[in-house]
């Protein structure tokens, strides 16, 4: 699992058809939206709401696709599955993983937004 990359800029750019401006828009949108989904997942977990957890994890997972962050995608996918199965104990630990992965991705995106694209 650790072997998965945090964020692959070249692939993300490729997904945006090489459009750097579009990618920056998507990155900003992601940084704005993803904390909401994480919060929604945490709150669902706290009230043992399996369906709410799966839906929040699913939405987060979806938003990760265009950003191209494989490790976060894998964790969010796992969290969605556990939510569906109502495995709250393991879900709590995976949710913590999601949070730290998300922080890594945010950091990487901030770098790109601040520092621009490698030529």
Partner 1 sequence: MSLHSTNGLVHSADATAPSSFPVATILLVEDEPVTRTSMAARLTRLGHRVLEAGNGREALEVAGRERPDLIIVDWMMPEMDGPTFCETVRRDPAMKSIYVLLMTSHDQPAQIAEGLARGADDFLSKAASKQEMTARVLAGLRTGRLVRELEMTGAQLESSLVLLQTKQTEMEADLQSAATFVHSLLPQPGSPAPGLSLAWEYQPALTLGGDLFNVAAIDADHLGLYIFDASGHGVAAALRSASLMTFLRVDNILREIGSYDPEKVLREANRQFPLSAEGEYFTLWVGQIHLPTNRLSYASAGHQGVLLSPNERPSRWLTRPSSPLGFDQEAVFVSDQITLQPADRLFLLSDGIYEAASPTGEPWGCWRFQQAVEAQQHEALATTIAHCFTEARRWQAQREFLDDAAVVGLELSV
Q: Which residues bind partner 1 (CB under 8 A)?
A: 15-17, 19, 22, 25-26, 29-30, 33, 55, 58-59, 61-63, 65-67
Alpha carbon 111 to its chain's center: 17
User: Tokens standing for 52?
Assistant: 């709410």
Cβ count within 10 A of residue 111: 12
Phi-psi region of 18 (alpha: psi -120 to 50; beta: other; left: phi over 0): left
Of residues 14 and 93, the one with the C-beta less far from partner 1: 14
Comparison of 36 and 93: residue with beta carbon closer to partner 1: 36
Q: Rank residues 25 and 43 by Cβ distance to partner 1 and give the closer one.
A: 25
Least distance in angstroms from the C-beta of 87 to partner 1:
20
């Amino acid at each position: 699992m650790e072997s998965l990359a945090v964020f692959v800029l070249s692939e993300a750019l490729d997904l945006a058809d090489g459009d750097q401006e579009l990618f920056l828009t998507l990155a900003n949108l992601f940084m704005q939206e993803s904390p909401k989904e994480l919060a929604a997942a945490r709150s669902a977990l706290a009230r043992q709401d399996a369906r709410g957890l799966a839906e929040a994890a699913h939405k987060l997972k979806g938003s990760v696709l265009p950003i191209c962050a494989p490790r976060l995608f894998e964790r969010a996918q796992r969290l969605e599955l556990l939510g569906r199965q109502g495995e709250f104990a393991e879900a709590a630990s995976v949710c913590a993983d999601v949070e730290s992965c998300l922080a890594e991705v945010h950091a990487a995106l901030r770098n790109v937004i601040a520092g621009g694209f490698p030529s």
